[in-house]
């Protein structure tokens, strides 16, 4: 193994550990790290070999990356295999992830908060008053977060970042 291969393996492995602490499947994060730093599209077999994982595992996590929009597939003529390639532009990656997390995490939270609010009648006890007040504050905050993420995920690449940086 060359010195470079060691560095890359360490990076892939540790990116997996980090992904794990971010609530992302370790293998999915490792595959993403491998694809992100590869100059070529890679086949399922390549990934199985590099990460020493089963076909089923590779397939599942590759599909998941595709469903997140972080990876897309390509083919070569005369070759039946699918090859996978990751988005390499970090700002685009950020927008994609914002958009997915909004859909998967923010929207359900907002739904829950709105549903909880609906049932409010004339609050009587101290407990009821505190509950609905807090729900109200959470909803206001989450709905701002939601609209910011919506804008981020729709924003033109490289348009928003300079603005954000000027804030401070």
- The footprint of DNA on this chain (CB under 7 A) covers a number of residues equal to 23
Among the candidate windows 59-67, 93-101, 127-135, 150-158, which touches DNA by CB under 7 A? Answer: 59-67
Applying CB under 7 A, which of residues 35, 41, 61, 87 lies at the interface with DNA? 61
CA distance linking residue 124 with residue 146, whole number of Å: 31
Q: Does 52 bind a second copy (CB under 8 A)?
A: no
Concatenated DSSP letters for 57-122?
HHHHHHHHHHHHTSEEEE--TT--S-EEEE---HHHHHHHHHHHHIIIIIHHHHHHHHHHHHT--S
Q: Does 43 bind DNA (CB under 7 A)?
A: yes
CA distance linking residue 10 with residue 139, whole number of Å: 42
Applying CB under 7 A, which of residues 37, 54, 67, 134 lies at the interface with DNA? 54
Cα 91 to its chain centre, rounded Å, is 13
Choose the contact partner of 108 out of a second copy, DNA, none; CB within 5 to 8 A by kind. a second copy
If phi > 0 it is left, if psi is from -120 to 50 it is alpha, else beta; for residue 42 that is beta
CB of 18 to a second copy, least distance (A): 5
HSE at residue 116, side-chain half, CA atoms within 13 A, is 16
Applying CB under 7 A, which of residues 80, 122, 124, 166 lies at the interface with DNA? 80
Q: Could you tell me if 70 and 97 are in contact, meaning their C-beta atoms sit under 8 angstroms apart?
A: yes
HSE at residue 91, side-chain half, CA atoms within 13 A, is 11
Q: Does 81 bind DNA (CB under 7 A)?
A: yes
CB of 90 to a second copy, least distance (A): 4
CA distance linking residue 32 with residue 145, whole number of Å: 27
Choose the contact partner of 39 out of a second copy, DNA, none; CB within 5 to 8 A by kind. a second copy
Q: Does 39 bind a second copy (CB under 8 A)?
A: yes
> Could you list the residues that contact a second copy (CB under 8 A)?
3-4, 7-8, 10-11, 14-15, 18, 21-24, 36-39, 88-91, 94, 104-105, 108-109, 112, 116, 119, 121, 125-131, 134-135, 137-138, 140-141, 144, 147-148, 151, 160-161, 163-165, 167-168
């Amino acid at each position: 193994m060359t010195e470079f291969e060691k560095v890359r393996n360490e990076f892939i492995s540790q990116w997996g550990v980090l992904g794990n602490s971010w609530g992302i499947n370790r293998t999915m994060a490792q595959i993403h790290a491998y694809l992100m730093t590869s100059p070529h599209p890679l086949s399922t077999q390549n990934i199985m070999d590099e990460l020493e994982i089963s076909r089923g595992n590779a397939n599942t996590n590759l599909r998941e990356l595709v469903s997140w929009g972080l990876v897309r597939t390509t083919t070569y003529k005369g070759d039946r295999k699918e090859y996978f390639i990751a988005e390499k532009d970090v700002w685009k990656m950020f927008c994609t992830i914002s958009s997915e997390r909004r859909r998967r995490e923010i929207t359900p939270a907002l739904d829950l908060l709105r549903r909880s609010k609906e049932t409010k009648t004339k609050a009587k006890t101290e407990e009821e008053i505190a509950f609905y007040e807090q729900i109200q504050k959470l909803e206001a905050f989450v709905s701002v977060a939601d609209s910011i993420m919506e804008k981020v995920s729709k924003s033109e690449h490289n348009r928003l970042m300079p603005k954000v940086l000027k804030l401070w």
